[in-house]
Amino acid sequence: MCSEGGGLVASPPPHAPPQALQPPPLPARGLAEVLRYLFELLEREAEHLEARRAGLAATGGSEAAGALAAHLQRCLAPAAAGGEEVAALLELLYASLQAEGGAEELLAEASERLLRLLEAAPAALAPRLQECLGWMQQLALSKAAVDEATQSRLCAMMALTCRSMPAAKVEESLGSLVPLVPPASTPCVGLAEQRKAVGAMVAVGLIGSYQLEAKASGETLALLTRATLAMAALLTHDQAAVAAAAAASIGALGSLAPLPLPDGEAESGGAAEAASSDGVAAAAATPPSGGDEKARPPQTKLAVAARLLSLLDKLKTKEKAVLALGQLGHGEPHGIFRNDILSGLFGLAATKDVDLHLTVGESLAKIGTARPSPDAAASASRLPPLPPITIPRKPLAATAASGASAAAVAAAAAQQPNAEEAEAIAVDASLVAEASGGAPLLGYVLQKVLRQYIVDYKPLLRQAAVAWLLSIMKVAAQAPEMLKAAPDVQDALLKLLADSNEVTQELASKGLSILYDACDAETQERIVAQLVKGLQASRAASASSSGGDMATFSELSEIANNAGQPELVYKLMELSTASAVWNTRKGVAFALAEQSRGRLQKHLDKLVPTLYRYTFDPNPKIAAAMKQVWEALVPEPKKALAAHFNAVLSHVREGLTDRLWRSREASCSALAELLSGRTYDEVGEVMGEIQQKLMRALDDIKESVRKAALAAWRALTSAAVRLVDQTNSHREHARELLDALLPTLLDQGISHAQDEVRRLCTRQLLKICEAAGSAMQPHVVRLVPVLLESLSVVEDPMLNYLQLNAGQAGISDQALETARVNAMRSSDVSAVLDQCLRMMGEREVSDALPAICALLSRGTGLPTRSGTARFVLQLAQLQPLSVEPHSAQLLRVLRISTLSERSDVARKAYASAAAQVARNAPVDTLGELVIHLVGRYTSDEAGIDDDERMAITTLMRELLRSASDAMARVKSDWLPLAFIARHEPRSQLEVEAAPTNAQKEEKGALSLVWGQAFDEAGIGPSAVGLYVGEILQLIGTLIEGTSWALRRAAAYALVELTSSAKTAIAAKPELGAEVERLAGLLCDKKWRDKEDLVSKVAALLPVPPPRADAEQPEDASSADM
């Protein structure tokens, strides 16, 4: 733009209008963006150049506006060199305004930028626009594309231009505008007619205000008086737009000096007297009675004010009327309408419209900041006193309901103030008297708001009062009266932070920030201490709750204190407003200034950690407020978190074990988001600590904390799985992370007392191990037993319940157990166990074996027992040499477990594992196992326990199936039992369960399994003949035993043996003699189904046997029939 040392070469000449200019051939929207961009460049250049001249850094805000003004003054100075860029920008703005068929968007942008330049340097730019006044007026009054805002800006440019013109020229301009103000009878129906009427009134009001301020006289004053009367008559126009424009124009006209009308006289008992008591807005707003309003247009100041007050109850005109009343009060603070205007504005307190109250506050501020004229005292002396400041009292019914004493109720009924109130009333009366005498009204307005409205018992009145106060502080923050009342203002606002209405709270917080910025250093220090003390007291009172009405602001105070800057609470409050009121047209004016954000930027390193955690606060109000602060302070959250990640993570970790449940819950929620996508360098060193603290949070007494911890736990698991995966992370990092996470899971997690925590830890362990691959080899010895135990932990509890009630559900126990084991084999745990198997060597097998044996013996749950047996089977398959030294121990444990197991499915799993181990076991070890099994099967104890005999049978069959070669080396130990046990009868339960006699005669389960084992072992007559002696020896043992079932099996075996091994028996006489002896014993004993076989047994005897009834009856308790 303009060079550092030069100004603008005036081209065109200062007073020559830029005629016949055409904008660049760009679309209207594109050209509007060009104008916006060029203006921003000019502002930035001005700010930096002026800052460099002053030796300061560019700050933005109001300083930027001042920099633009100074820069334009230099660039547009007549004797300055350079500045062609500024001239080019001006020409482009002129051309855009004069473009043929100019679009609404282009006209709006061009008018806004040109007005900004004109306001910044009116003395330099106004002369250039004097000759443009004609086409600007034409554009403002007749251009169909001009909207209301653009029309107002054009009128403002006309008014600023007229200020630099001679009086005659101004009179000429007014002379062309005033006749365009339509009579009250004109309908102004069409848009073009309305725009013409509105534009004329607005232009007259703005131009006239400057002329009245300059003490206009003669024809100019006459024109303005005529215009005022015409516009006053339009205040009751049927078209709301016309009436609103009339109100705005009258307000503008009287904003800098009194209206050019006579004062008027208040009627007896009329508005002036009615205004002496509050709550009389209706009376103050009521125009004089009698006759039609339109037939009697206002002729005096008092009548105009009354007519404006009557617009306060009309939706489309009340805001313009409020602004106009404030402007009239600013132009003549002690005018005849003073009391009427103040009472009318204060009387709007019960209106439920925050946007309107912000406007009311602006008007009150204008009235209060007006500097009275030298003759104000004389004018005020002719007026009634100002309305008194009335301290509100609690309603009598509320006083009685609160449990107050009878004396207190009586005092309230009598409206008798106490001593403190009496003193305050006296001070208020003195202030009212002083203001009524012609002094500035700001002190009176402030005290009336603070003492009467902001402490009212009605919520709407308090909300209105704080909105007024906010606007007053924005307009008059530096006024002496405001600085003097700062402690009282803060005290009132601080109390409103606990108001039940959210909007009232936010208005109060916004006001506190504005108040702090307005005060000097000493006052700031005093009010900061007062504010922090009040907020901390509130925080302490609600520490154990979910947050009271002041919770948001108390937490903001804590954030500021943690940053070591208590005064930052004001800026944080300003940022924390989330209500929709700040999105309205009026509320936007109170939005965050760049200066407030800039003051907090240097403290971000201390603010970000606490603030980030509070955005997840369980209190929705606090969370919304903190998110508002966060979004305002941190426009790029990802970059901010990256820059302060360590501090944020440290703060969140500390909050996981905070004594306040709200802090714990917020920290868990924050951690759930914070861990996403992080690298090992960012979180690797603290993952173990986070895991331990989250494990505590998962078992928190507060349910909402547990839910938040669950989300954080899932995030932690996801991060851990990603970081231990060697495709995403370095191998050393994976191992370090496993060293940090696995011990906690193994020592505390999987054995946690709480079922849900135990289940979550188990699932995390599985996912980590599944992703870690070979990196978990150092931990495999500890992992295997834990994973085997977890098979039952991760199983759906409903399956276990169903198992207990399988009979009622019509499902067989064995079918359900088989389904459970199949599900276990396809689970994630089994997949991880398979990984562990591939990583186990001789040392790992030796170290893990004690724990595995313990699970085989005492494992809880079918999945764990079956899974452990399956793991041993696979281990023996994959690592036979590593398992062989431990085969004796494993076979002993598997034997005991098989015999004691009640589940058929688990028993088969044990048997299969034992068979696999036996394949490589030494012959002595295997022989010892078989001898023990045979002894248990044929003993008296085992003989009467069908379940245990079935377990032995199953184990023997699996040994013969899977370890046939090894079993062949100890055939003499098992073949006799297999030969005999094939003839086992059906058990009593099987007989009772058989529905028909034919089925009762079928083979039982034991006989079938032994038959399968015998056949699969390939035993033929030749093999039997080799072991006739061993078979006869076992038959003798069984005959002498107490089991009738085994005695019956021995009988059948003896008959079969004499047939199949006849040659072997005949070759050895001693064998034949043994057969005869055993046959004789059988004939003398009782056994099941003896009548069916006794004849065959007797045939083996050399002499006829004794009668069957010769034997004494056996003890029935020894029979197992």
In a domain? residue 49:
yes
Say whether both 108 and 255 belong to one domain: no
Query: Which amino acid belongs to residue 579?
Result: S
Closest CA to 613 of 572, 548, 535, 673: 673
Task: Kindly state whether residues 16 and 119 are assigned to the same domain.
Answer: yes
**What is the CB neighbour count within 10 angstroms for residue 860?**
11
Burial (CB count within 10 angstroms: exposed 0-12, middle 13-18, buried 19+), residue 341: buried
Whether the link from the prior residue into 374 is cis, omega within 30° of 0, is no
Asked if 386 contacts 435 with a C-beta cutoff of 8 angstroms, the reply is: yes
CB 876 within 8 A of CB 919: yes
Structure tokens belonging to residue 533: 């003390």
* 807: in domain: no
C-alpha to C-alpha distance for 1017 and 804, rounded to whole angstroms? 38
Q: How far apart are CA 21 and CA 530, in angstroms?
A: 61
Predicted local distance difference test score (pLDDT) of residue 176: 92
Q: Quick one: which of 49, 68, 171, 188 has its CA closest to 124?
A: 68
Dist CA 328 CA 345 (whole Å) = 13
Q: Within 10 A of 158 (CB to CB), how many other CB atoms are there? A: 24
Under 8 Å between Cβ of 112 and 44: no
Domain that holds residue 14: 1-149
CA–CA distance, 1089 with 1092 (Å, rounded to integer): 5
> Does residue 180 share a domain with residue 76?
no
- Asked if residue 642 is part of any domain, the answer here is no
Q: How far apart are CA 211 and CA 1026, in angstroms?
A: 140
Q: Which residue has the tokens 């599944």?
A: 770
Whether residue 784 lies inside any domain: the answer is: no
Structure tokens at 1053: 């075996």
Nearest to 552 by CA among 497, 634, 612, 491: 497
What gap in Å lies between CA 1012 and CA 482, rounded to an integer?
106
Amino acid at the residue 404: A
Residue 680 maps to a domain? no
User: Which structure tokens are listed for 760?
Assistant: 């979550």
Residue 257 shares a structural domain with residue 275:
no
Which of 212, 228, 261 is the endpoint of a domain?
Answer: 261
Same domain as 431, residue 316: yes
Please report whether residue 501 resides in a domain: no
Considering the domain boundaries, does residue 1 fall inside one?
yes
Whether 244 and 295 map to the same domain: the answer is no
Are 122 and 233 members of one domain? no
- Same domain (yes/no): 1108, 1025: yes
Residues with Cβ within 8 Å of 933's Cβ and at least 6 positions away in sequence, in order, are: 895, 952, 955, 956, 974
Instruction: Give the pLDDT confidence score for residue 426 in this predicted structure.
Output: 66
- Please spell the DSSP secondary structure of 869-890, one letter per residue: HHHHHHHHHH-HHHHGGGHHHH
Dist CA 658 CA 695 (whole Å): 14
Number of Cβ within 10 Å of residue 678's Cβ equals 17
Residue 419's contacts (CB-CB under 8 Å, 6 or more residues apart) are none
Contacts within 8 Å (CB) and 24+ apart, 110-113: 110/32, 110/35, 111/150, 111/153, 111/154, 111/157, 112/150, 112/153, 113/35, 113/36, 113/39
Can you tell me the distance from the alpha carbon of 193 to that of 189, in angstroms, rounded to the nearest whole number? Answer: 7
pLDDT at 418: 60
Residues with Cβ within 8 Å of 432's Cβ and at least 6 positions away in sequence, in order, are 385, 386, 388, 389, 444
Going from the first residue of the chain to its last (1121 residues), give the mean pLDDT of each consecutive group of 10, the final group possibly shorter: 38 43 77 90 86 62 70 76 75 85 84 92 87 87 77 93 90 92 88 89 94 88 93 93 94 94 68 40 41 69 94 92 95 92 94 93 94 79 86 60 49 54 66 78 92 91 94 89 87 81 83 80 72 56 45 67 64 58 46 51 76 88 79 80 90 91 93 90 91 92 93 94 86 89 86 85 86 84 87 76 68 77 81 85 88 88 89 89 89 88 86 88 88 84 69 87 85 87 77 67 79 83 83 85 82 83 80 81 76 70 54 43 39
pLDDT, residue 366, reads: 94
Asked if 1060 contacts 1024 with a C-beta cutoff of 8 angstroms, the reply is: yes
Q: State the virtual CA torsion across 291, 295, 298, 302 in degrees, nearest 10.
A: 10
What pTM did the predictor assign? 0.62
Phi-psi region for residue 24, left (φ > 0), alpha (ψ -120 to 50) or beta?
A: beta
- 969 and 1110 co-located in one domain: yes
d(CA 1021, CA 1034): 18
What is the structure's pLDDT at 242?
A: 93
39 within domain boundaries: yes
114 and 53, same domain (yes or no): yes
Which of 451, 467, 484 is the C-terminal boundary of a domain? 484
Instruction: Please answer whether residues 1044 and 1113 qualify as being in contact, where contact means their C-beta atoms are separated by less than 8 angstroms.
Output: no
Q: Do 460 and 364 fall within a single domain? A: yes
Total count of domains within the chain: 4
CB of 611 within 8 A of CB of 633? yes
Tell whether 49 and 173 lie within a shared domain.
no
Task: Choose one of 114, 149, 184: the last residue of a domain.
Answer: 149
Give, in order, the Cα–Cα distances in Å from 264 to each of 299, 329, 376, 1042: 8, 16, 17, 135
